Chains A and B, each alone.
Chain A
């Protein structure tokens, strides 16, 4: 299929396994789950992006989008965001903050750091699934990612 070739890789940073499962389930409906890379904390996510540590041998290229939780073990989401957006090589990666928090201060901080989108996970499962699907379709399919992103 022509559209399948344009699918981008999604990097998910999420420490909660249930959230991972539910998110993947939502993405599966659109066959978007296969190219999702899951990292469980901020450090792992940065290792992935810098191709170091356990990801030292991975094939290169940036993800088409990064779904970033804010409350993360070790390096928290805002710090990850700050490092990405202040790194000349990584700053073009679209970052979507996907968080439980409705806190205004997190939102302001994220936008100040240059986040590309800010999504509060709805409690209602329907809404949650819809939000994830729309995100996945938009960033991995519709949006033209910056040069250097990995495509299927």
Chain B
């Protein structure tokens, strides 16, 4: 790089350039005179031409013309007869003219050659710079983890970065020069002609391709193609970058499989639900009918035969009637319970205090003749299915009424306390017969009862219904009790959004 710069500086100074012309001519003259003194003749022309050549080479065309003029004058003065005069005889004129012409020609040729050489050197420098730039770029491309390779339009690979080596397992030396299709056995999702057409039209293409690695394993890549063009806009190469998405595709496939499985299960559940619905429907119809008949005929029998049947017989008939009534209640409760599982919840925001009032109205019949002290705390808004929640409250309150029956003065408290996180907790507390915490797990099971039926009547479905409703609201139910010392039933539910409740 330094050398051409030095040359340029030398030849760019006019004083030096013209001095070179004068100096080289003077040296040539000196040498020619010396040669003449020693008897060598006719060497001056060659020496002057040499001086001109040196001048034109190192100093350019201006100093060279000066050198031609000086050489011409020196030739005329020292070497043409008559010597030591600028006069040239007629005989020497062609010889002199030829010398001048030849000198000019030499000057011109040398100048042209010099220019060409300079251009060549410039191009060489540019080329060197370009090579360095490209090398740097290529090593940058090697830094990326992306797979990048270039192939020409006949599909032969011309560049192969380290990412490509890592992904496909072929080294650059192995890949470069090979047809890409032969190396990677690409599986195209669409005809390759279509891809080429799009690439030539828009300059790029993107898609998913399946390729084969050096070890024979398959790989799915997200592939991006860009068309490289020369200055005239002619396509010269295709640059392809690949990202390995095999793992992602596998996960996508897994998710799809899971979704299909989920859909299948949900269809299964749906059909089970349908069957359950059909079952409940037929229970509702077919189990009630014979029961009704039993009750009906027993009653008719009672009416007709009460006079002829003894007291025991009448008692039996009364028991049959009582049982059929109880069975009827069981079926009704069971159907209600199953309906809660099947029915869709219609959630709205409503006032829990108002709902408690409604529930109390509904159970008023059970409180007749009882001395009950009600303590109802402040209650928040509730977001849920109003009719289902009413069922919950009716069940809990009527339980409280029922199990305080043995108390001269019943105390029932309904209130709300803060639960953990976003839940609110509602409780119904009584001073009734309570229960043994040992059996707390049985409380909410269907048909589970902790009391004998002649002590406290019931179907054993009420608390199961409560639990089912609350679970459907995303909440929990639990209870605390002491035998002979009352029970508290709690249920929690997600608070209505944005609502803060302080007990």
Contact = CB atoms under 8 A, between A and B. Distances in A.
A18 B295 contact: no
Nearest to A126: B299
Given A101-B288, A125-B295, A126-B299, 8 more contacts: A22-B296, A71-B286, A100-B289, A101-B281, A102-B335, A123-B288, A124-B295, A128-B296
Interface string B247-265: 0000000000000000000
A122 B289 CA distance: 10
A22 B284 CA distance: 19
Interface string B332-364: 100100010000000000000000000000000
Contact of B325 (A70, A102, A123): A123
Contacts of A134: none
Contacts, number: 58
A100 B292 CA distance: 9
A103 interface: yes
Interface in B303-353: 324-325, 327-328, 332, 335, 339
A41 B6 CA distance: 120
A102 B300 contact: no
B115 interface: no
A102 B293 contact: no
Contact of B293 (A18, A70, A103): A18
A76 to B, nearest CB: 11
B299 A125 contact: yes
* Interface band, chain B: 20 to 34
A100 B328 contact: no
A150 interface: no
A47 interface: no
Interface residues of A, number: 20
B291 interface: yes
Interface string A100-129: 111110000000000000000111111010
Contacts of A122: 292
B284 A100 contact: yes
B284 A103 contact: yes
Interface in A85-102: 99-102
A62 B382 CA distance: 53
Contacts of A123: 288, 291-292, 295, 324-325, 327-328
Given A102-B332, A124-B325, A124-B328, A22 B293 contact: yes
Given A123-B324, A124-B325, A126-B299, A99 B285 contact: yes
- Report which residue of A18, A71, A123 has the largest number of chain B beta carbons within 10 angstroms of its beta carbon: A123
A99 B284 CA distance: 10
Contacts of B296: 18, 22, 125, 128
A19 B281 CA distance: 19
Given A16-B289, A123-B328, A124-B325, A101 B295 contact: no
A16 B281 CA distance: 17
B324 to A, nearest CB: 7
A37 interface: no
B292 A121 contact: yes
A70 B285 CA distance: 9
Nearest to B321: A125
A100 B287 CA distance: 9
A33 interface: no
A141 interface: no
Contacts of A121: 288, 292
Contacts of A128: 292, 296
A104 B335 CA distance: 11
Contact of A71 (B285, B324, B325, B327): B285
A12 to B, nearest CB: 15
Interface in A9-30: 16, 18-19, 22, 25
6 contacts: A71-B285, A100-B288, A122-B292, A123-B292, A123-B327, A124-B328
B341 to A, nearest CB: 14
Contacts of B327: 123
B281 A103 contact: yes
Contacts of A18: 289, 293, 296-297
A19 B299 contact: no
B289 A25 contact: no
Nearest to B282: A71
> Which of B293, B297, B325 is packed against the most chain A CB atoms within 10 Å?
B293
Contacts of A100: 284-286, 288-289, 292
Contacts of B293: 16, 18-19, 22
Contacts of A125: 292, 295-296, 298-300
A100 B339 CA distance: 16
A25 B328 contact: no
Top 3 nearest A-B pairs by Cβ distance?
A123-B328, A125-B299, A125-B296
Interface string A121-151: 1111110100000000000000000000000
